[in-house]
Amino acid sequence: MVDVGEVTSAVVPFVSAAVGAYGTAVVQRVVDQAGDATAEAGIGVGRRVLRRLFRSGRGQQIEEAVTDLGSAPDDETLADLVRAQVRAALGGDPELAAEIAAMLPARPGVTITNSRGVQAGDHNVQTNHFSA
């Protein structure tokens, strides 16, 4: 089963990249089937994800939230609204969540075992010593 919170967190940066690139015209640019040859990979992923989300049961709400964010890309409240709409769409449709998760590029992961410390805050330095 797909973790909706993780997929939402992974999707939103790609959606934001598309919104940042296209502004208020984001919906029209996303639904336009012709690819933007100059678009970077992140924007392309964002377009594909949004195109699929627009066809979901919450498509209209997502379109409206993305359009609003396009008018003010730095507005955290609007970004939170997009995040909430995406999460609601994915949470209400496990098949959609799995489909969207499959669209995302693989992310290298780090597995930590036998951890004894916690790093919190910004601009911290962590030094790891490994023994055989």
Domain ranges of the chain: 4-103
Structure pTM? 0.72
pLDDT band at residue 14 under the 50/70/90 scheme = confident
pLDDT at 95: 95
**Which are the contacts of 25, defined by CB distance < 8 A and separation ≥ 6?**
70
Round to whole Å and give the CA distance between 36 and 29. 9
What is the C-alpha R_g of the chain? Answer: 17
Element spanning 21, H or E: helix 4-22
Q: Give the pLDDT mean for 19-34.
A: 78
Q: How many residues are given for the chain? A: 132
Average pLDDT, the chain: 81
Share of the chain above pLDDT 90, in %: 40
Q: Give the pLDDT mean for 106-116.
A: 55
pLDDT at 87: 96
